Structure 1
Amino acid sequence: MSILTSAPAAGCLPTSPANSQAPSMVSRMTMIMEAFEPQDARLLLDEITIRAGLPRSTTHRILDQLVQIGWLEHTPDGYGMGWRSLKYRNNDSISSRIRTEAAPLLHELQIRTGKVVHLAVLEGTNIRYLDKLGGANATAVPSRVGGINPAHTTALGKSMLAWMDPEDLDEIFPNAVGQNAGKTMNDSSMLYSELARIRRRGGLAYETGESYEGITCVASAIKIRRNPVAALSLVGRGRDAMELLAPLVQQAARKISESLSAPASMSA
């Protein structure tokens, strides 16, 4: 008597004869995450179910959990990578793409305002500067490309942190508050209040002397869909002057966001 066997369903992990129970939760989550190939894919529930090779009800339940903790996001056009997944994609490849897409708008912003322009990404509790333009004025600002600063002390960092859930901030940002005491936020409640004000301003963040003495910045986050992946800022002196230029910063950030979110850019 022969024993008939069949190949495992597409997307399913093989099981050994001695251990033929259903895939573990970790295995099923892996199947679902691997369905997003390329990683900028927007998929509907039924598409994910087919790619993962899991029951529809199981897929839906796990998707809900992945959305809740930030690995995925759910919008009217389907599921896609969430902020937590994008955080781990802030490597040389995505940073290079951000710099490429942002370059013409950074140049235009610098020419129009005459101010120093920064482009930065969030790396854990810090920001890392990807670009800096400013001509002769650039030497007056001690930042440097590749350098870092605590995110909560910079307009760049706060503009990105403002779009994250408080629970996620507690997880990735537990010990940073309190640095530069006397110049910036010295406890979580102060930081969260400031982030709420930034959201009410439509995402505009300010700093005055928090990271560099006597320098004022205004910044706005750059997003891929709804996820903050970078930010740009103008640097000058005086809050009033920066507030007048703030709409230009917000407009440039929005244009870069739209460019990065376009399918052709994300799949490049």
Structure 2
Amino acid sequence: MSKERSNPQILSSVSNALRILKSFSTFEPTQKVSDLSESLGLAKSTVSRLLTTLAHEGFVVKEKSTGKYKLGLSVLTLGGIVTNHLEIHKEAAPLLHKLVNDTGETAHLSILDGTDTIYIHKEECSHPVRILTHLGRKNPAYCTSSGKVLLAFNENNLVEKVIEQGLHAYTSKSITDPDELRKEMQIIRERGYAISTEELTEGTRSVSAPIRDYTGKVISAINVVGPLQRMPDYKVPDIAKKVLNASNEASERLGYDKRFLEVR
């Protein structure tokens, strides 16, 4: 019995499309419909329909001269995301640990997921009283320092999509006015880091700065978060400087060179 039949949750069409993608290799970078049909045990008509769908989504490209198919840029994009995130973990982990030692507060590594932000790495502080945060949990980007950093430097003007979805008030300090959020984005871009004070959870403050890849694109953010009484106003500039140092070093470790991009 096939895997598809033994597990009703598996869609045979999706499974077959993925089998087609996995048929491409360094040794066989191009494939014909007939070859895929024979090697996978699928009808030519089925293979042809699946390839047409994959081509429409950019996962394969048909060569006009030979009629063969090769992998498309969508595969490269997904691979780049995985590589970047693996590299981010590797390069940022020791910097987060140092940041915790330097600030005494919990540090996180965050990414965007749609219009939300997610913590993908966390270094806990040693204080007995800590801010409860969770890896993998989604938070609205406009209410967190890391989310605001990622929105501010997003190349697709994602902040307008966030505004269209509605700005819900999680606390009395949450930004709910579209113009105020747009102004905040501009301040973050000019200053280079973001601050969130009781915007998602009362009694907390966080400071975040962006991490860039070798192309200069912001792909992640580093932040520190703690109780407001341990992160009062007068401490924010010093904390922000330390967070910026950590994010800049993480960016450099990923190949970012500001001087090169300025010349280019």
1:216 is paired with a residue of what secondary structure?
strand
Distance apart, 1:167 and its partner CA: 4.1
Normalised TM-score (structure 1): 0.61
- Mind listing any 5+ residue stretches in structure 1 that lack a counterpart? 1-9, 15-25, 36-51, 55-70, 72-80, 263-268
Aligned CA distance change for structure 1 residues 172 and 188 (closer, same or farther; 3 Å): closer
Question: Is 1:232–2:259 an aligned residue pair?
Answer: no
Q: CA shift at 1:214, angstroms?
A: 1.1
Match of 1:218 among 196, 200, 207: 207
Residue 59 of structure 1: aligned partner: none
The structure-2 alpha-carbon separation of the partners of 1:117 and 1:167, relative to structure 1 and needing over 3 Å to count, comes to: closer
| Alignment check: 8 A CA contact 1:128 1:146 kept | yes
- The structural deviation recorded for 1:89 is 5.7
Indicate yes or no: 2:188 matched with 1:194. no
The letter for the 2-side match of 1:175 is Q
Tell me which structure has the larger Cα radius of gyration. Answer: 2
Structure 1 residue 171, shift from structure 2 partner: 3.9
Which digits, 9 at most, give the CA deviation of each residue in 1:123-181, with x for residues without a partner?
11111111222333275111122222111100011111111257443246631523426
Number of residue pairs matched by the alignment: 197
Distance, in Å, in 2 between the alignment partners of 1:96 and 1:108 is 20
Alignment match, 2:107: 117
Shift of 1:113: 2.0
Query: SS at the partner of 1:177?
Result: coil
Residue 216 to residue 163, structure 1, CA distance change in 2 (3 Å) = same
Shift in CA distance, 126/29, structure 1 to aligned 2, threshold 3 Å = closer
What is the CA–CA distance in structure 1 between the aligned matches of 2:175 and 2:88, rounded to whole Å?
A: 29
| Identity within the alignment, % | 27
Quote the offset at 1:244 in angstroms. Answer: 1.5
Instruction: Judge which range, 161-170 or 114-123, deviates more.
Output: 161-170
Inter-partner Cα distance in structure 1 for 2:135 and 2:57: 37
Tell me the equivalent position of 1:156.
Answer: 146
SS at match of 1:219: strand
CA contact (8 A) 1:155 1:218 kept: yes
Rate the CA distance shift 1:182–1:261 in 2: closer, same or farther, 3 A. Answer: same
- The structure 1 segments of at least 4 consecutive aligned residues displaced by more than 6 Å after TM superposition are 26-29
- Alpha-carbon deviation of 1:28? 10
Q: Does 1:251 align with 2:245?
A: yes
Cα separation, 2, equivalents of 1:228 and 1:179: 27
Q: 2: distance between equivalents of 1:138 and 1:190?
A: 36
Q: Residue 205 of structure 1 corresponds to which residue in structure 2?
A: 194
Q: Is the 8 A contact 1:119 1:230 kept in 2?
A: yes
Give the gaps of 5 or more residues in structure 2: 1-28, 34-53, 66-72, 257-264
Describe the superposition over 1:44-69 as per-residue Cα deviations: whole angstroms up to 9, x where unpaired: xxxxxxxx999xxxxxxxxxxxxxxx
Cα gap change, 1:190/1:107 in structure 2, threshold over 3 Å: closer, same or farther? Answer: same
- For residues 128 and 176 of structure 2, the distance between their equivalents in structure 1, rounded to whole angstroms, comes to 30
In structure 1, distance between residues paired with 2:128 and 2:152: 27
Deviation at 1:243, TM superposition (A): 1.7
Alpha carbons of structure 1 residues 53 and 204: separation in structure 2 relative to 1, 3 Å: farther
Q: How does 1:44-55 map to 2 (within 5 A)?
A: none
* Cα distance in structure 2, aligned partners of 1:107 and 1:216: 19
